[in-house]
Amino acid sequence: MSAFDLLMGVLLIASALAAVTLKNAVHAGLALVANFLSLAVVYFALEAQFLGWIQIIVYAGAVMVLFLFVIMLLFDAKADVGLDRLPWMRPLAAALAAAFFLALAYAFSGVGPVNPLADVKLGGGLPKALGGLLYGNWLYTVLLVAALLFAATVAAVSLVQPQIRKARVKPQVLERDRELEEVGK
Amino acid sequence: MSYYLLLSALLFAIGLYGVLARRTAILIFMSIELMLNSANLALVSFARSSGNLEGQVMALLVIALAAAEVAVGLGIIVAVFRSRESTSVDDLAEFRG
Protein backbone atom coordinates (compact mmCIF):
# COMPACT_ATOMS: atom_id res chain seq x y z
CA MET A 1 0.00 0.00 0.00
CA SER A 2 1.50 3.29 -1.12
CA ALA A 3 1.25 6.82 0.31
CA PHE A 4 -1.13 7.67 -2.54
CA ASP A 5 -3.55 4.94 -1.42
CA LEU A 6 -3.49 6.19 2.17
CA LEU A 7 -3.99 9.83 1.15
CA MET A 8 -6.94 9.02 -1.11
CA GLY A 9 -8.48 6.80 1.56
CA VAL A 10 -8.28 9.59 4.15
CA LEU A 11 -9.71 12.15 1.68
CA LEU A 12 -12.59 9.86 0.63
CA ILE A 13 -13.60 8.93 4.18
CA ALA A 14 -13.24 12.46 5.59
CA SER A 15 -15.32 14.03 2.80
CA ALA A 16 -17.96 11.28 3.05
CA LEU A 17 -18.25 11.76 6.82
CA ALA A 18 -18.54 15.53 6.32
CA ALA A 19 -21.28 14.96 3.70
CA VAL A 20 -23.43 12.93 6.11
CA THR A 21 -22.85 14.95 9.30
CA LEU A 22 -22.58 18.68 8.43
CA LYS A 23 -25.54 20.76 9.62
CA ASN A 24 -25.54 23.15 6.66
CA ALA A 25 -26.98 21.53 3.54
CA VAL A 26 -24.82 23.58 1.15
CA HIS A 27 -21.67 22.59 3.07
CA ALA A 28 -22.75 18.94 2.91
CA GLY A 29 -23.23 19.27 -0.86
CA LEU A 30 -19.77 20.75 -1.30
CA ALA A 31 -18.25 17.93 0.80
CA LEU A 32 -19.98 15.48 -1.55
CA VAL A 33 -18.36 17.29 -4.52
CA ALA A 34 -14.96 16.78 -2.83
CA ASN A 35 -15.81 13.09 -2.38
CA PHE A 36 -16.70 12.69 -6.07
CA LEU A 37 -13.53 14.45 -7.21
CA SER A 38 -11.27 12.26 -5.03
CA LEU A 39 -13.15 9.21 -6.33
CA ALA A 40 -12.33 10.37 -9.89
CA VAL A 41 -8.63 10.49 -8.92
CA VAL A 42 -8.89 6.92 -7.60
CA TYR A 43 -10.47 5.89 -10.93
CA PHE A 44 -7.48 7.37 -12.79
CA ALA A 45 -5.14 5.36 -10.55
CA LEU A 46 -7.15 2.16 -11.15
CA GLU A 47 -6.75 2.47 -14.94
CA ALA A 48 -10.26 3.78 -15.57
CA GLN A 49 -9.45 7.10 -17.22
CA PHE A 50 -12.65 7.50 -19.23
CA LEU A 51 -14.74 6.67 -16.17
CA GLY A 52 -12.76 9.21 -14.15
CA TRP A 53 -13.55 12.00 -16.61
CA ILE A 54 -17.20 10.93 -16.78
CA GLN A 55 -17.27 11.02 -12.98
CA ILE A 56 -15.99 14.60 -13.00
CA ILE A 57 -18.30 15.77 -15.80
CA VAL A 58 -21.52 13.96 -14.84
CA TYR A 59 -21.30 13.69 -11.04
CA ALA A 60 -19.15 16.58 -9.84
CA GLY A 61 -20.49 18.75 -12.66
CA ALA A 62 -24.08 18.10 -13.65
CA VAL A 63 -25.55 16.11 -10.73
CA MET A 64 -24.08 18.15 -7.89
CA VAL A 65 -24.92 21.48 -9.53
CA LEU A 66 -28.53 20.23 -9.80
CA PHE A 67 -28.44 19.26 -6.10
CA LEU A 68 -27.05 22.64 -5.04
CA PHE A 69 -29.64 24.44 -7.16
CA VAL A 70 -32.49 22.54 -5.48
CA ILE A 71 -31.00 23.07 -2.00
CA MET A 72 -30.73 26.81 -2.58
CA LEU A 73 -34.18 26.93 -4.18
CA LEU A 74 -36.03 25.12 -1.38
CA PHE A 75 -34.26 25.79 1.93
CA ASP A 76 -32.40 28.39 3.75
CA ALA A 77 -29.79 25.59 3.90
CA LYS A 78 -30.82 23.92 7.16
CA ALA A 79 -30.12 20.23 7.43
CA ASP A 80 -31.88 19.68 10.74
CA VAL A 81 -35.56 20.48 10.90
CA GLY A 82 -38.18 19.39 13.42
CA LEU A 83 -37.62 17.02 16.30
CA ASP A 84 -36.26 13.51 16.30
CA ARG A 85 -39.16 11.09 16.51
CA LEU A 86 -36.76 8.54 17.98
CA PRO A 87 -34.16 10.12 20.27
CA TRP A 88 -31.78 7.17 19.89
CA MET A 89 -32.02 7.20 16.07
CA ARG A 90 -28.46 8.40 15.46
CA PRO A 91 -26.63 5.81 17.62
CA LEU A 92 -28.89 3.13 16.17
CA ALA A 93 -28.07 4.29 12.64
CA ALA A 94 -24.34 4.27 13.44
CA ALA A 95 -24.56 0.75 14.93
CA LEU A 96 -26.47 -0.56 11.89
CA ALA A 97 -23.98 1.05 9.49
CA ALA A 98 -21.05 -0.47 11.43
CA ALA A 99 -22.68 -3.92 11.36
CA PHE A 100 -23.25 -3.57 7.62
CA PHE A 101 -19.62 -2.56 7.10
CA LEU A 102 -18.42 -5.65 8.99
CA ALA A 103 -20.70 -7.87 6.89
CA LEU A 104 -19.41 -6.32 3.64
CA ALA A 105 -15.78 -6.61 4.77
CA TYR A 106 -16.35 -10.28 5.59
CA ALA A 107 -17.92 -10.82 2.16
CA PHE A 108 -14.99 -9.11 0.42
CA SER A 109 -12.37 -11.06 2.39
CA GLY A 110 -12.15 -13.77 -0.28
CA VAL A 111 -11.35 -11.38 -3.15
CA GLY A 112 -7.78 -11.08 -4.38
CA PRO A 113 -5.65 -7.91 -4.09
CA VAL A 114 -6.26 -4.75 -6.12
CA ASN A 115 -2.91 -3.11 -6.68
CA PRO A 116 -2.86 0.15 -8.69
CA LEU A 117 0.82 -0.35 -9.54
CA ALA A 118 0.50 -3.90 -10.88
CA ASP A 119 0.72 -4.51 -14.61
CA VAL A 120 -2.78 -5.29 -15.85
CA LYS A 121 -3.89 -4.87 -19.45
CA LEU A 122 -7.05 -2.75 -19.35
CA GLY A 123 -6.09 -0.41 -22.21
CA GLY A 124 -5.97 2.37 -19.63
CA GLY A 125 -9.77 2.27 -19.50
CA LEU A 126 -9.80 4.58 -22.53
CA PRO A 127 -12.80 4.90 -24.90
CA LYS A 128 -10.96 2.82 -27.51
CA ALA A 129 -11.02 -0.21 -25.21
CA LEU A 130 -14.45 0.52 -23.63
CA GLY A 131 -16.25 1.34 -26.90
CA GLY A 132 -15.80 -2.15 -28.31
CA LEU A 133 -17.58 -3.59 -25.28
CA LEU A 134 -20.26 -0.89 -25.01
CA TYR A 135 -21.29 -1.26 -28.66
CA GLY A 136 -20.68 -5.01 -28.69
CA ASN A 137 -22.00 -7.30 -25.96
CA TRP A 138 -23.56 -4.45 -23.98
CA LEU A 139 -25.37 -2.75 -26.89
CA TYR A 140 -28.90 -3.65 -25.77
CA THR A 141 -28.18 -2.59 -22.20
CA VAL A 142 -26.92 0.76 -23.47
CA LEU A 143 -30.10 1.17 -25.54
CA LEU A 144 -32.26 0.32 -22.50
CA VAL A 145 -30.39 2.86 -20.38
CA ALA A 146 -30.94 5.44 -23.13
CA ALA A 147 -34.69 4.71 -23.10
CA LEU A 148 -34.72 4.99 -19.30
CA LEU A 149 -32.91 8.34 -19.38
CA PHE A 150 -35.44 9.62 -21.91
CA ALA A 151 -38.38 8.46 -19.79
CA ALA A 152 -36.79 10.03 -16.68
CA THR A 153 -36.37 13.36 -18.50
CA VAL A 154 -40.04 13.37 -19.53
CA ALA A 155 -41.09 12.41 -15.97
CA ALA A 156 -38.95 15.14 -14.40
CA VAL A 157 -40.37 17.82 -16.71
CA SER A 158 -43.98 16.73 -16.14
CA LEU A 159 -43.43 16.52 -12.34
CA VAL A 160 -42.22 20.09 -11.92
CA GLN A 161 -44.63 21.58 -14.47
CA PRO A 162 -46.41 24.57 -12.92
CA GLN A 163 -50.07 24.00 -12.01
CA ILE A 164 -52.66 25.12 -14.55
CA ARG A 165 -53.88 28.50 -13.34
CA LYS A 166 -57.51 29.62 -13.27
CA ALA A 167 -58.50 32.13 -15.92
CA ARG A 168 -57.75 35.65 -14.71
CA VAL A 169 -60.87 37.61 -13.72
CA LYS A 170 -60.95 41.16 -15.04
CA PRO A 171 -61.10 43.89 -12.36
CA GLN A 172 -64.22 45.38 -14.02
CA VAL A 173 -66.06 42.10 -13.51
CA LEU A 174 -65.04 41.99 -9.82
CA GLU A 175 -66.26 45.59 -9.42
CA ARG A 176 -69.63 44.75 -11.01
CA ASP A 177 -70.06 41.68 -8.79
CA ARG A 178 -69.40 43.78 -5.70
CA GLU A 179 -71.91 46.43 -6.79
CA LEU A 180 -74.55 43.80 -7.52
CA GLU A 181 -74.00 42.34 -4.05
CA GLU A 182 -74.48 45.80 -2.45
CA VAL A 183 -77.69 46.34 -4.41
CA GLY A 184 -78.90 42.92 -3.29
CA LYS A 185 -78.54 43.96 0.36
CA MET B 1 -8.14 -8.43 1.43
CA SER B 2 -8.13 -5.59 -1.00
CA TYR B 3 -7.67 -2.02 0.24
CA TYR B 4 -9.99 -0.37 -2.28
CA LEU B 5 -12.77 -2.89 -1.72
CA LEU B 6 -12.55 -2.21 2.01
CA LEU B 7 -12.69 1.51 1.25
CA SER B 8 -15.79 1.03 -0.87
CA ALA B 9 -17.46 -0.98 1.92
CA LEU B 10 -16.66 1.83 4.37
CA LEU B 11 -18.08 4.48 2.01
CA PHE B 12 -21.24 2.39 1.60
CA ALA B 13 -21.63 2.13 5.39
CA ILE B 14 -21.18 5.91 5.75
CA GLY B 15 -23.86 6.44 3.09
CA LEU B 16 -26.15 4.02 4.95
CA TYR B 17 -25.65 6.01 8.16
CA GLY B 18 -26.58 9.17 6.25
CA VAL B 19 -29.78 7.61 4.90
CA LEU B 20 -30.83 6.47 8.39
CA ALA B 21 -29.81 9.56 10.38
CA ARG B 22 -30.69 12.48 8.08
CA ARG B 23 -34.18 13.99 8.32
CA THR B 24 -34.43 16.02 5.11
CA ALA B 25 -35.35 14.23 1.89
CA ILE B 26 -32.69 15.96 -0.20
CA LEU B 27 -29.86 15.04 2.21
CA ILE B 28 -31.06 11.42 2.30
CA PHE B 29 -30.89 11.53 -1.48
CA MET B 30 -27.29 12.78 -1.34
CA SER B 31 -26.38 9.86 0.94
CA ILE B 32 -27.90 7.50 -1.63
CA GLU B 33 -25.58 9.03 -4.25
CA LEU B 34 -22.68 8.25 -1.89
CA MET B 35 -23.77 4.60 -1.75
CA LEU B 36 -24.06 4.38 -5.56
CA ASN B 37 -20.55 5.78 -5.87
CA SER B 38 -19.14 3.25 -3.42
CA ALA B 39 -20.68 0.47 -5.53
CA ASN B 40 -18.95 2.00 -8.57
CA LEU B 41 -15.62 1.98 -6.73
CA ALA B 42 -16.12 -1.74 -5.99
CA LEU B 43 -16.90 -2.43 -9.68
CA VAL B 44 -13.79 -0.57 -10.85
CA SER B 45 -11.69 -2.45 -8.28
CA PHE B 46 -13.08 -5.76 -9.51
CA ALA B 47 -12.25 -4.78 -13.10
CA ARG B 48 -8.73 -3.95 -11.97
CA SER B 49 -8.17 -7.13 -9.97
CA SER B 50 -9.54 -9.49 -12.64
CA GLY B 51 -8.13 -7.59 -15.65
CA ASN B 52 -11.62 -7.51 -17.17
CA LEU B 53 -13.00 -4.24 -18.55
CA GLU B 54 -16.67 -5.20 -18.13
CA GLY B 55 -16.62 -3.91 -14.55
CA GLN B 56 -15.89 -0.44 -15.89
CA VAL B 57 -18.72 -0.78 -18.44
CA MET B 58 -21.09 -1.59 -15.57
CA ALA B 59 -19.86 1.43 -13.58
CA LEU B 60 -20.53 3.61 -16.64
CA LEU B 61 -24.10 2.30 -16.83
CA VAL B 62 -24.57 2.90 -13.09
CA ILE B 63 -23.54 6.55 -13.61
CA ALA B 64 -26.15 6.91 -16.38
CA LEU B 65 -28.82 5.33 -14.14
CA ALA B 66 -27.84 7.66 -11.29
CA ALA B 67 -28.33 10.65 -13.60
CA ALA B 68 -31.87 9.46 -14.44
CA GLU B 69 -32.55 8.81 -10.74
CA VAL B 70 -31.40 12.32 -9.77
CA ALA B 71 -33.66 13.91 -12.39
CA VAL B 72 -36.77 12.07 -11.18
CA GLY B 73 -35.91 12.27 -7.48
CA LEU B 74 -35.25 16.01 -7.44
CA GLY B 75 -38.45 16.50 -9.48
CA ILE B 76 -40.40 14.61 -6.81
CA ILE B 77 -38.75 16.63 -4.02
CA VAL B 78 -39.62 19.93 -5.73
CA ALA B 79 -43.22 18.78 -6.35
CA VAL B 80 -43.62 17.64 -2.71
CA PHE B 81 -42.17 20.92 -1.45
CA ARG B 82 -44.75 22.82 -3.51
CA SER B 83 -47.70 21.00 -1.95
CA ARG B 84 -46.36 20.59 1.63
CA GLU B 85 -43.94 23.50 2.10
CA SER B 86 -41.48 21.00 3.62
CA THR B 87 -39.11 18.23 2.63
CA SER B 88 -38.65 16.76 6.11
CA VAL B 89 -39.40 13.05 5.89
CA ASP B 90 -41.20 13.21 9.28
CA ASP B 91 -43.73 15.62 7.75
CA LEU B 92 -44.28 13.21 4.85
CA ALA B 93 -45.23 10.24 7.04
CA GLU B 94 -48.96 10.48 6.24
CA PHE B 95 -50.72 9.27 3.11
CA ARG B 96 -53.27 12.07 3.19
CA GLY B 97 -52.90 15.08 0.91
On whether residue B96 sits in a domain, the answer given is no
CATH of the domain at B74: 1.10.287.3510
Chain B interface disruption, residue of A22, A64, A69, A108, most B CBs within 10 A:
A108
Give the model's pLDDT for residue A78: 63
pLDDT of A80 = 58
Q: Please tell me the pTM assigned to this model.
A: 0.83
Q: What is the pLDDT of residue A173?
A: 83
Whether this model's ipTM surpasses 0.85 comes out as yes
Q: Cβ contact (<8 Å) for B77 and A108?
A: no
pLDDT in tens, chain B (97 residues): 488 889 999 999 999 999 998 888 889 999 999 999 999 999 998 888 878 888 899 999 999 999 999 999 999 888 888 877 777 777 777 766 5
Is residue B16 in a domain?
Answer: yes
Is residue B94 a part of any domain in this protein?
no
Alpha-helical regions (H) of chain B: 3-21, 25-50, 54-84
Total domain count for chain B?
A: 1
- Residue ranges of domains in chain A: 1-75, 80-185
Pairwise CB contact (< 8 Å): B2 & A111? yes
* pLDDT tens over chain A, length 185 residues: 788 889 999 999 999 999 999 888 889 999 999 999 999 999 998 888 999 999 999 988 899 998 988 888 886 556 555 566 677 888 899 999 999 999 998 888 876 665 555 555 677 778 888 888 889 899 999 999 999 999 999 999 888 877 655 667 777 888 888 888 888 76
* Chain-chain contact of B69 with A142 (C-beta, under 8 angstroms): no
CATH numeric code, A1-75:
1.20.120.1200
Range of the domain at B8: 2-89
Residues of chain B in contact with residue A39, where contact means CB-CB under 8 angstroms, are 37, 40-41
What DSSP string runs through chain A?
--HHHHHHHHHHHHHHHHHHH-SBHHHHHHHHHHHHHHHHHHHHHTT-HHHHHHIIIIIIIIIHHHHHHHHHHH-SSBS--S--SSTTHHHHHHHHHHHHHHHHHHHHTTS----TTS---SGGG-HHHHHHHHTTTTHHHHHHHHHHHHHHHHHHHHHSPPPPPPPPPPHHHHHHHHHHHHHH-
Q: Is residue B62 part of a domain?
A: yes
pLDDT for B1 equals: 44
Please answer yes or no on whether A96 and B45 come within 8 Å at the CB atom: no
Does residue B69 fall inside a structural domain?
A: yes
